[in-house]
Amino acid sequence: MVRIRRPVLRNLECAGALWQSGGAVLERAGGAARAWACPPGHVLVVLPDQRQAMEFVADCRELGQAAFLLSEPPLTPQGIGSLPLRLERGEILRSWALEEGGAGRLCAPELKSVVLAATPGALMTPCLLGTEELYVQRGGGSQRDRLMAWLERSGYQRADLVWSPGQFAVRGFILDVFDPGHAMPLRFEFLDDEVERIVPFHPSTQRSVPVQRGDQRRTEHLELDGIALHGLEAVRPAAPVELLPGDARVLLCDPQRTENQAHSFQWLWRELCVESIPSWDETFHVLAQYPHLRLTDAAEAADAELPLEGLPPFRGDAGAAVRLCHELRAQGCTISIHTANPRFLDLEAGPLAAAAGPGLELHEGGLSSGFIDRAAQRAFLSDRELSGITASQNWGAAEGMLSPGKGAVPLEWRDRLSPGQLVVHEDYGVGVFRGIEVVSHTGGAGAMPPVDALVLEFASGQRLLVPVLQSHKVTPPGGA
């Protein structure tokens, strides 16, 4: 048997002619290793599904890379036909194309990636670009009534509460607007006819966005000096693949599964909508005109490979984690531990205290998985290896998404469940899903941070709060 020897690339920038031929590169670690491997410049990363795309963006940000997410439109009549959502997607593409790379806190200065993560469905469906803007400046004389009239004329819908793109609400001298071109809704506070404050706020809590100043112990609210609002009527349609910058490169992850997902998405779209969209073959034909690579875990299809390795799970065995840290340090590796677990963050008295020393960095945050880069002599450990539980990642507000905190409900639950649907709890039987609530534990030394819980209601009218760590007991529609 002849064993094929593939060249081992230091990183994807060294792939050379493979970028032009669309070659395949073997990458075994998966997860956060793919974000680490992104080359400099504008990189479009195509992943099979929305969950992986969101995790990829979170991993990029945790590793210090600039990252954007191009979401799929929800496959519902409202989602497919929503003009604000199409404008939001177009503005994300435009923002990504205009973004300049910058070295992240964990990345070498020469590695300046600006990543856009997308699924096949996100790339095949249309978007809109706004052609009309109104700039509102703090201290400027933008009359509230005049601004309201512009919003109505530009296609915004008046509502009692702003929570969805394309809405605005008025309460006295406060005007809330959710511009699809921005990450979060905006609150304009007026003093007579003058704009006194402009602040972004979370649609879920209706509270202003907090920011840390100086020594990180003083919290303030983010205020803007001015911002441009985008009209919803003066727009032009565009295909996402037509908006890629000229210097873009394309990474296609798990090509076979991505293609299968593309065909499934197109079939569902045709079942729900009379508007036609390009096929995946047509979309990929455009992408293939850019330098592109395929990342695969199929060794037989690879032209080269990356020196990235996955890590074994320790499942709470801190001693095994400490021993691995000592072994990696002896091999000359710098170790970065990314954890949201307070116990692991304590390097003085916590279970990882014995691993403390030169060459070990501790970061409060989350990665989808850990890995080793043998070429760069860097190792990354995550909660997935340390405890067997992947901490909820902060997907951020750059795409207008809610940022789940610790113990947040998994993404697939948010996608598959809606209030009023029937579910089965393995201990209590059939119930109705009523939504998600934040449960706070107060009092005493055992106080715990708030966690998300599924709210179930049963025939007797009794309610049950199911913490996310027990969500495996609940079967959503269509099975577990």
Residues 437-454, mean pLDDT to the nearest whole number: 56
Q: Is the pLDDT of residue 416 over 80?
A: no
* Model pTM score: 0.74
More confident residue, 143 or 187: 187
User: What's the confidence (pLDDT) of residue 104?
Assistant: 40
Q: Average pLDDT of 58-79?
A: 88
Quick check: 25 pLDDT over 90?
yes
Domain 12-129+236-305, classified CATH 3.40.50.11180, yes or no: yes
More confident residue, 80 or 243: 243
Say how far apart CA 163 and CA 458 lie, in whole Å.
29
Among the residue ranges 219-223, 374-378, 394-398, the one predicted with the least confidence is: 394-398
Q: Is the predicted pLDDT of residue 84 greater than 90, yes or no?
A: no
Three-state secondary structure string covering 74-106: CCCHHHHHCHHHHHHHHHHHHHHHHCCCCCCCC
pLDDT at residue 397 greater than cutoff 60:
no
Query: What percent of the chain has pLDDT above 90?
Result: 40
At 262-319, the pLDDT tens digits run 999 999 998 888 889 999 999 999 999 999 999 999 888 899 999 999 998 887 788 9
Q: β-strand 448-457 against 235-238: which pairing, if any?
A: unpaired
**pLDDT, position 404:** 30
Q: List the end-to-end C-alpha distance of the chain, in Å, as a whole number.
A: 43
Whether the Cβ atoms of residue 66 and residue 397 lie closer than 8 Å to each other? no
Query: Please, where are the H alpha helices in 22-174?
Result: 32-36, 50-62, 77-81, 83-98, 120-124, 144-153
What DSSP state is assigned to residue 205?
A: T
Return the pLDDT at 141.
66
CA gap 471, 316 in Å, rounded: 21
Give tens-digit pLDDT for 421-440: 888 887 888 888 887 776 65
Q: What is the mean pLDDT of residues 126-144?
A: 83
pLDDT of res. 101: 55
Angle between helices 255-272 and 280-287 (to 10 degrees): 130
pLDDT for position 449: 47
Hey, what are 120's tokens? 């096949």
What 3-state class would DSSP assign to 12? helix
Domain 132-233 has CATH 3.30.2020.30: no
The confidence band for 257, taking pLDDT boundaries of 50, 70 and 90, is: very high
- Domain 411-475 adopts which CATH fold? Thrombin, subunit H (2.40.10)
DSSP 72: P
**pLDDT band at residue 478 using 50, 70 and 90 as cut-offs:** low
Strand partners, 304: 25
The whole-number pLDDT of residue 440 equals: 57
Check residue 83 and give its pLDDT. 85
- How confident is the model over 387-405, as a mean pLDDT? 47
Predicted local confidence at residue 234, as pLDDT: 81
- Mean pLDDT confidence for 3-29: 89
Higher pLDDT, 407 or 414: 414
Residues 6+ apart with CB under 8 A from 300: none
Tell me how far apart the alpha carbons of residues 296 and 319 are, in angstroms, rounded to a whole number: 33
**Is 88 or 471 the better-scoring residue by pLDDT?**
88
Residue 445 has pLDDT above 60, yes or no: no
Cα–Cα distance list, 346 to 106, 266, 302, 337 (Å): 21, 49, 42, 12
117 or 315, greater pLDDT: 117
- Contact between residue 92 and residue 100 where contact means Cβ atoms under 8 Å apart: no
Q: What is the mean pLDDT of residues 109-126?
A: 85
Q: Do 251 and 53 meet the contact criterion of CB atoms below 8 Å apart?
A: no
| Distance in angstroms (rounded) separating the CA atoms of residues 10 and 22 | 18
What amino acid occupies position 345?
Answer: L
CB 346 within 8 Å of CB 372 = no
The angle formed by the CA atoms of residues 216, 203 and 93, to the nearest 5 degrees, is 90
pLDDT, residue 469, reads: 55
Domain definitions of the chain by residue range? 12-129+236-305, 132-233, 311-386, 411-475
What six digits make up the tokens of 146?
């005049």
Tokens 């850019």 correspond to 290
Domains 12-129+236-305 and 411-475 share a fold: no
Higher-confidence residue of 22 and 460: namely 22
Question: Is residue 202 very low, low, confident or very high in pLDDT (cuts 50, 70, 90)?
Answer: confident
Per-residue pLDDT at 183? 78
pLDDT at 213: 52
CA proximity to 118, closest of 250, 247, 217 = 250
